Structure 1
Amino acid sequence: MLLAACSSATQPLMTQEELVNLIYEETGEKMYLPEFEALDVSYVYVQYDEADHVKSIDVQYAEGRTSEIIDYFQNPSNTAAWEEQHHAKKLYGPYEGEVAFMLSYSKEGVTSTEADKVVELEEVEVAIQEDMSFTIHSISLSGEYRLVYNNDYVTEEEALEHTRSYLMNVE
């Protein structure tokens, strides 16, 4: 069914373009990955539904990302167990670092009942959920995009500006 991705502690770091191509090769989806001055992609995985169709593509960005894979995932049997448990495939990482931003894409639509408020950016409705640690911006375009901001790293205004920039670049 799902094959374990490279689990070595020495998996090479990849550029944004290489990651976009890796995601495309696995899913057939061309996904825009934003770039941040102080953050690097630290983890990419794909979740599948029961019919083995792509359910979601998830990308994490970290501050202070190292070139070391998280200890748990250095063991191939742990990686295989995680992939089986989550019906997912790990494509890249996860590297050590403090997660500051997450991006998730799913073909399922946004449910606006989850939103604390809705704003319009670039003529697109953005449903916003807030809690103590994270702010989630959900956008419905050709599927659902969730941009998840760690509140320790960005202000509400910075999150809105990042989401606006994302909307200007996503296809």
Structure 2
Amino acid sequence: LAETREKILQYKSRVTEELDLKRKIQVLEASLEDHVKMKQAALAEFEAYKHRIEDMQLCAEAQHVQRIVTMSREVEEIRRKFEERLRSFGQLQVQFEKDKRLALEDLRTAHRREIQELLKSQQDHSASVNKGQEKAEELHRMEVEALNQTLEELRLERKKLIEDYEGKLHKAQSFYEHELDT
């Protein structure tokens, strides 16, 4: 009987040990399961973070490309406007030169016409008045002085026109250089 009791105690002890081991196994399995769940959650969170970072990077790259495209368009527009202003400036410069030449030619023509009219009036006067040589010489001298004065006035007017033109041209060049600098 003692032997049986001992065996029963051994069996009970083994059963208790086995139950303890089963509990430990269950605890370990539960712990392992929790660990696996935490690991999966961490991996899922990492993947979500990775996707967010990739999306942010793609978005940043797209914004960068968009900024480059926008800046490229702006630079192209500025270049186009600059070329248009340069072309306009060239046309304006050509027009100024043309106006200057026409003004000078008009002044020369008017001067020639006045001289011819004065010469004709002098010749007519000389033909009609043969006598009074001194009077004719005095008249001639006065007409020459008047012509010289007219010539001097025309020269001054021509000089003023040239200075005005050069001033306007310089002002236009300064304006366009200022525009080019901005």
TM-score normalized by structure 2?
0.15
Higher strand share: 1
Higher helix share: 2
TM-score normalized by structure 1?
0.16
Select the structure with the greater relative contact order (CA < 8 A; seq sep ≥ 6). 2
Say which one has the larger Rg. Answer: 2
